[in-house]
Structure 1
């Protein structure tokens, strides 16, 4: 049997691999639909983590106290956003998962974030105390805290010159 090639010549079937046939068929199909021959390059718009919450309502209040706005919620999931940072809070909790989970938040002023725990009463109301601020060898100044569910957050600011 003789099959047409993409350039209009004919090749014996024995010289055409299955992959070539699939590519040729795909190309002909795209031409038929008048679509571009190459697929668009995949791009990412954003990535969001799903954070566990043992007490969903209390966790939602905690993150709102930190300044996150609840974009939407259905009582089991909530999207929380602060400026360009966002995540999904979920009414799902496994202790081992929560204790192994970490978040990183890059901020403009590490000192303002660290002080907020005391000035806003977050340390008293939620029992969450920030660790000490430290300069890291990877060019960040940061501190950590554990949210009410045991999720570790590392809040950081770039060191000048980094």
Structure 2
């Protein structure tokens, strides 16, 4: 007998100190809220998603780091600047940086301190151990 161990989705729970503020932040960042109930808001961008939870644990929030690999990191950086994310939400946004491991990226912290690093594979860098795009 063979068990079906197929994974259909993997998501993380992202904490929110101020649930309403965090929902606005993620909407401005470019995610769409698909549903909400029981203190959980389901956010997605295309087929990628996470669960925003109306729960805040400072040590967890300040140590949670998520990485988004995108096709055009410059477009994302412009979007964040044009939406005035840093000013509007009082969060940190770093400059675009070409990393020695073959990613060009920048980081955005959310209103409770979760760090999102948004990056793109650096052109000409030979990746080792990366998954092929689906």
Superposition TM-score, scaled by structure 2 size? 0.87
Residue 97 of structure 2 is aligned to residue 134 of structure 1: yes
SS at match of 2:74: helix
Residue 65 of structure 2 is aligned to residue 102 of structure 1: yes
Unaligned runs of 5+ in 2: 128-134
Looking at both structures, which has the greater relative contact order when contacts are Cα pairs under 8 Å and sequence separation is at least 6?
Answer: 2
Q: What count of residue pairs does the alignment treat as equivalent?
A: 125
The CA deviation at 1:125 is 1.1
Could you tell me which residue of structure 2 aligns to residue 79 of structure 1?
A: 42
SS at match of 1:62: helix
Q: Which residue of 107, 111, 118 corresponds with 1:155?
A: 118
The CA deviation at 1:41 is 4.6
Instruction: Work out the CA distance in 2 between the residues paired with 1:73 and 1:149.
Output: 19
Superposition TM-score, scaled by structure 1 size? 0.72
Instruction: Work out the CA distance in 1 between the residues paired with 2:30 and 2:72.
Output: 14
More helix by share: 1
Q: Calculate the aligned-residue CA RMSD, in Å.
A: 1.4
Unaligned runs of 5+ in 1: 1-37
Off by >6 Å, runs of 4+ in structure 1? none
Q: Which residue of 43, 56, 67 corresponds with 2:6?
A: 43
